[in-house]
Amino acid sequence: MSKKVLAIVSSPRAGGNSEMLVNRFLKGAEEAGHETEKLCLRDKNIHPCMACETCVNNGGGICAQDDDMDEILQKLIAADVLVLSSPVYFYSISAQLKMMIDRTMAVAGRIKNKEVYFIATASAGEHAMETTMNDMEGFVRNLPDSEVKGKIYGSAHSVGDIAGEPAMDEAYTYGLNC
């Protein structure tokens, strides 16, 4: 059965290591016959949540802010599989991913039944990526009936360092089998 796979690239750097891993995941998913989409947050206009609760109180989950988040929320709701990717910044996810996650409050409960995969890249080793993975797991805990299906740890620093690393094959295999 074909699935809708939405991969979120949160790195502000185009063509970076985490995006390279996302591309490998998507290649596997496409070869398995799934519909794929890569969404790069760096190309989107997303404002931080203002905690005004307009989206909670208006009954429709409509945010008071006029930016690209409504489009992103609809894609998150429609997807069967989510791939969240982030470079590691101070043992955490990127600001771009955090901003997107915070803004999902507008549709709390409607992003559900997802298979979720995580991709993190860091030069400091797996221990540095573990807290980043925990940040992403916190988000998934708020998605009803969703499950983390895999985690890809990419050890790399400079752009392109991930090429030839085992994480590239792992990303492809996860995509092929999602």
pLDDT band at 166; cut points 50, 70, 90: very high
Mean pLDDT in residue range 81-105? 94
Separation of alpha carbons 68 and 169, rounded Å: 33
Q: What is the pLDDT of residue 99?
A: 96
Judged against a pLDDT cut of 90, whether residue 123 lies above it is answered with no
pLDDT band at 89; cut points 50, 70, 90: confident
For residue 101 the two structure tokens come to 């996650």
**How many residues does this entry show for the chain?**
178
Residues forming beta bridges with residue 150, ordered by sequence position: 117
Cα 60 from chain centre: 24
- Look up residue 41 and give its DSSP letter: G
Q: What is the pLDDT of residue 30?
A: 98
| Identity of the residue numbered 50 | M
Q: What is the pLDDT of residue 84?
A: 98
Average pLDDT, the chain: 93
